[in-house]
Amino acid sequence: MKKTIITVVGKDTVGIIAKVCTYLANNRINILDISQTIVDGFFSMMMIADMNDSPKPFADIASELTQIGEEIGVVIHCQREEIFQQMHRI
C-alpha cells in the first residue's frame, strides 16, 4: 500500500482539521494516523493517508489541497511517504 503524508503548517485557527478531513472523506482518502503539535507558535499537523481508493489522480489531490490551504491561510503539502522513509530510516 502506498502511503501519503499530508502536512499542514500555519497559524492556528478554528476548523483546520475539519476542513482537511472533509476534503479527504469526500475523495475517499482514508486517514491512517494523525499527529499534531504547536512548533514556535505555529500549528503543525501530519496525517498518514491511504489514497489507493481515491478516484482522483495524485496531482489533482495535491493541487486541490494546496488550494484549500490557501483559503484558510495555512500551507498544505501532500507527499509520498517514501521520501521521509528514505531520509530517516536505514
Partner 1 sequence: MINIFEVNETNKMIEKENLDVRTITMGISLLDCVSDDITRLCDRIYDRITKTAGDLVSVGNKIELEFGIPIVNKRISITPVAIIGAGAAKGQDDFVKIAMMLDRAAREVGVNFLGGYSALVSKGMTSADRNLIRSIPDALASTELVCSSVNVGSTRCGIDMDAVRMMGTIIKETSEKSDVGPAKLVVFCNAPDDNPFMAGAFFGVTEGDTAINVGVSGPGVVRRAVAKCKGAGFEELCETIKKTAFKVTRVGQLVAKEASLRLNVPFGIVDLSLAPTPAIGDSVADILCEMGLEYAGAPGSTAALAMLNDQVKKGGVMASSYVGGLSGAFIPVSEDQGMIDAVNAGALTIEKLEAMTCVCSVGLDMIAIPGDTGASTISGIIADEMAIGMVNQKTTAVRLCPAKGKGVGEMAEYGGLLGRAPVIAVNKASCEEFINRKGRIPAPIHSFKN
- Which residues of this chain interact with partner 1, rule CB under 8 A? 5, 7, 9, 33, 35-37, 39, 44-46, 48, 58-59, 62, 77-89
Q: Cell match 495555512: residue? A: 74
Q: How far is the CB of 5 from partner 1 (least distance, A)?
A: 6
Closer residue to partner 1, CB minimum distance, 3 or 23: 3
**Dihedral angle of Cα 63, 56, 84, 76, to the nearest 10 degrees:** 30
Q: How far is the CB of 9 from partner 1 (least distance, A)?
A: 8
Closer residue to partner 1, CB minimum distance, 24 or 61: 61
Q: How far is the CB of 88 from partner 1 (least distance, A)?
A: 4
Nearest residue to 7 (alpha-carbon basis) of 52, 55, 39? 39
Nearest residue to 74 (alpha-carbon basis) of 45, 49, 51? 45
